[in-house]
Amino acid sequence: MKVLGIETSCDETGVAIYDTEAGLRAHCLHSQIDLHAAYGGVVPELASRDHIRRLPLLLRQTLAEAGLAAADVDAVAYTSGPGLAGALLVGASVAESFAMARGIPALPVHHLEGHLLSPLLSADPPAFPFVALLVSGGHTQLMRVRGVGDYALLGESVDDAAGEAFDKTAKLLGLGYPGGPQLAQLAESGVPGRFRLPRPMLHSGDLDFSFSGLKTAVLNVVSAPDWDPVRMADLAAEFQQAVVEVLCAKALAALKKVGLKTLVVAGGVGANRCLRATLDAALARRGGRVHYPEPALCTDNGAMIAFAGALRLAAGETGPEVAAVRIRPRWPMVELRPPVQVSGVV
């Protein structure tokens, strides 16, 4: 089965072909970073318009790189949510139209399920069950994963996601867009501990997160009369260390709670080198293992959507029988279920 995947939830346009026999055949991605940089953040209307421009070109490019024609595609999977409504509409419209024209199934896919399952695309994939740490600009969640669609929420952020805190803190420090990666790069030249920032909810006794207070603590430092911008790298390093300590402690607590030793880390912040090094060392000391997506698949991409769709279709899910453009800008992941034959609306 050759599955076309389309991702347009925010500011990346991704298209991919996943073959259930040959693996990932092609994967094309366009980032809108340059488009939104002047505004310091994503402008939804501009994002939607850019998806409209890029998606037909990426679709043709992906098919060409896979050595396939449109007639060779057996199914289409697309990001139905969560995300920006206008951006989701672009991808969903193209996907449903493509499927209708070819007479093939179209399967709406949850964006976070794509991220969660993306490490299974690696050369050394994890085996079920495992604990997943989903950590990105919009989400910070711990999930127990028993199989495709069999997820239990263990904890989540009660305010800012970790990636959101990175971006907002970078803006406080006067760094450019996108702020998170720039802050992480700056932190590599700093020394943590020269400032003392809080570790929010580190000892809360549950598996939830909170990062808005950490951002406020940085604001208090840079607003103080004795603030010296020369020390910015040290402040960035302390901020990063605080986030990493909390993420690591909560992930280890989640593994202990459910009695597992395999952790999967997915989402854009999962590419952070400090986080990876800390988690790798911590799990190694406990006889466990951490799995990550391939570096190219840490950001939003069509490959993870094609793969998630392929897994559900291979397990017998047929997708809605009635063709319609289906989007859910707000879609709690706890509503997902294992693959089943469904009809009507999602």
pLDDT in tens, 98-127: 999 999 999 999 999 999 999 999 999 999
**pLDDT beyond 90 at 47:** yes
Task: Count CB neighbours of 188 within 10 A.
Answer: 12
| Cα–Cα distance, 214 to 202 (Å, whole number) | 12
Rounded Cα gap, residues 204 and 237, in angstroms? 24
Q: pTM value?
A: 0.94
Mean pLDDT (the chain) is 95
Q: Which of 115-124, 139-148, 320-329, 335-344 has the lowest mean pLDDT?
A: 335-344
Measure the CA–CA gap between 29 and 25, rounded to whole angstroms. 14
pLDDT of residue 40: 87
Strands 12-19 and 2-7: antiparallel
Q: What is the pLDDT of residues 131-149, one digit of tens each?
A: 999 999 889 999 999 999 9
What is the longest distance spanned by two Cα atoms in the chain? 67
Q: How far apart are the first and last CA of the chain?
A: 23
Q: How many CB atoms are located within 10 Å of the residue 247 CB?
A: 24
